Amino acid sequence: MAYIGANPVNGFFEKQDLTTDGSTTTFTLNTAVGSSSAILVSVGGVIQEPEVAYNLGGGGGSIIFTEAPSSTADTYVHFLGQAISQNITDLNGTEMVLDVDADTTITADTDDQIDFKLGGSDVIAFKTTGIHLPDGEKYVGGTGDDLQLYHDGSNSYLANSTGELRLATLTSGIAIAIGHSTSEVTFGDNVTVTGNLTIGGTTNFGDFNITNVGSIALDTITNDGTDITLDSSGDIILDAAGNDIFFKAGGTTIGEFTNSSSDLVIKSSVSDKDILIKGNDGGAAITALTFDMSAAGAATFNSTVNSGAITSSGIVTGTGFTAGSAVLAEAELELLDGLTAGTAIASKVVTTDANIDTTGQRNLTISGELDAATLDISGAIDIAGASQFSSTITVGVDDTGYDVKFFGATSGKSLLWDESADSLIVTGTTTLVGTTNLDAVDIDGAVQLDAALTIGANDQGYDIIIYGDTASANITWDTSVDDLIFNGAARAVIPDGQLVLGSTAVTSTAAEINLLDNVSGLVQADFTKLAAVDATAVELNYTDGVTSAIQTQMDTKASTGKAIAMAIVFG
């Protein structure tokens, strides 16, 4: 398998099965790794989160689980290998490093020029004026670098160190025309030049064999638009038209070099075909249409990929990506790493599953409206704004209730439904405003009513019982008989002069009325007793001022008959 940049570390894509027993938490790794993110750990089919479910120990030589895997859980470690940093961005002249030791690079630090370095030295430059090699750098061919084309700073060379230097097809010599606009020179077969060769005018060569070359000086090579065939079968042809150079294979143009706005453009002339750039180290190809890293493992880029697709079965790394006008930084892309649809992961993006559900989210802060068909909250809820409920509110279920407390604006005032006491408790002074209908009320504290109290309605009353501290002592308003009844030890205590019967006030004092105590029949001849008293309030007022026995009071009166008449009137 070929790779761009560095070969993968040992254990790349290796799977290590762990034998678990439900108690062991530490296991030795087959290959030491430098980061917990360099391995993928699965327990019972569930991918484990690094630094949470497990950590590395022993300098990366062992894995330590937070909780021991079950003995029945299929547990394994998948080694991902070593990724090489990759930046896909606008380099602005920064070098693009291609190999591990960073001495093979591509850079464009000079405007309209691309430089290639091998082993830390410049070896080739693409310029608007052509493809350039520095002095001393060579175009070479052969297993022993036998064929060499180079300039040493003073002279240019086309040299061969082993065998003959030939311009020929594979089977026979070719005709080479070296011409000039005014004269032509034609070489026949087997022309050998052992000294200096100066060619001018029009020269036609048959077989052209040059040995012991001193120097060759050429003016201009003109092809006049005629194709140049490069192979014996005539399939590979160079064709120049205008400022472009076309490459043909089998008669079909497959690619071209062109000058566009002083830029050197290399492009494919065949639809959906790629331009491949390959090194001589067995690495995978870099293509212009589809960047295929299926065999690359990892690659480093310090330039911008403007179009096409990047396909890789290995690892693509970078500090950021730009898609259209959207710039995705490394930190933003990390929010997607390890994301599982439908599950909330700390510091990650939340994505719903196919049912539009998520599980595991914690705090959610929104500034707008939250619309939900149903809302199930298992923990505490804090609502700072006004709330409106358009349907029934139920707290708890039958036989399992929960406290509900309403605070007032004044300290110490609240309304509490105490589920343990099954009671609605009002603390502090609380005012109920408006009309309140209550089926039953049990009030343990003092009650103050600041307005009229009405019980029942006209022609529809209700019993009222007011209890005293003595057993069976109470006052009952009995609606069935329309009577106020004093029961047991209950009494009616009325201050002197405050008793009114009908519309007439009773002015007799308690002592005066007590003179009638024990009167059970008609007043006897000595006027000491009364019986069947049915006197009105006016009639009873005749006793006003009588403070002792009526007989004694009568003895003091000058007119006995008048005193008697004024004192008592029998109905």
DSSP state of 65: E
Spell out the per-residue pLDDT of the chain, length 571, in tens: 444 444 444 445 688 999 999 999 999 998 888 788 888 999 999 999 999 999 999 888 899 999 999 999 999 999 886 544 444 556 677 778 877 677 888 888 888 888 888 887 777 888 888 887 787 777 788 777 778 888 888 888 888 877 777 666 555 555 555 544 555 555 555 666 655 666 655 555 554 555 555 555 555 555 556 666 666 666 666 666 666 777 777 767 778 777 777 777 777 777 777 777 776 766 665 655 555 555 444 555 555 555 555 666 666 666 777 777 888 887 877 777 788 887 888 878 888 888 888 887 777 777 778 788 788 887 788 888 888 888 898 888 999 999 999 888 888 888 889 998 888 888 876 666 767 777 777 777 777 888 888 888 899 898 999 998 999 999 999 998 889 999 998 888 888 878 888 889 888 887 777 777 776 655 444 344 444 456 666 766 666 666 665 555 555 554 444 444 544 444 3
Contact predicate 299/305, CB 8 Å: no
Write out the E strands in 74-232.
75-79, 87-88, 96-97, 105-107, 113-118, 121-127, 130-132, 138-141, 147-151, 156-160, 176-179, 184-186, 191-193, 197-198, 203-205, 208-210, 216-217, 228-229
How many angstroms separate the CA atoms of 46 and 76, rounded? 11
Q: Which helix (H) or strand (E) holds 18?
A: strand 15-18
Handedness of CA 31, 36, 38, 41 (dihedral sign): positive
Give me the amino acid identity at 152. Answer: D
Contact predicate 385/368, CB 8 Å: no
Contact predicate 406/426, CB 8 Å: no
- How many alpha carbons lie under 13 Å from residue 280 in its C-beta half-sphere? 5
DSSP codes joined into one string, 508-566:
--HHHHGGGTT--SS--TTS----S----HHHHGGGTT--S-HHHHHHT-S-HHHHHHH
Beta bridge partners of residue 147, listed in sequence order = 141, 160
Tokens 């009229």 sit on residue: 452
For residue 84, with 0-12 CB atoms within 10 Å meaning exposed, 13-18 middle and 19 or more buried, which class applies? Answer: buried
Q: Is 512 helix (H, G, I), strand (E, B) or coil?
A: helix
Beta bridge partners of residue 520, listed in sequence order = none
| Pairing mode of beta strands 276-277, 286-287 | antiparallel
Query: How open is the CA angle 545-551-554, to the nearest 5 degrees?
Result: 60
How many angstroms separate the CA atoms of 105 and 83, rounded? 18
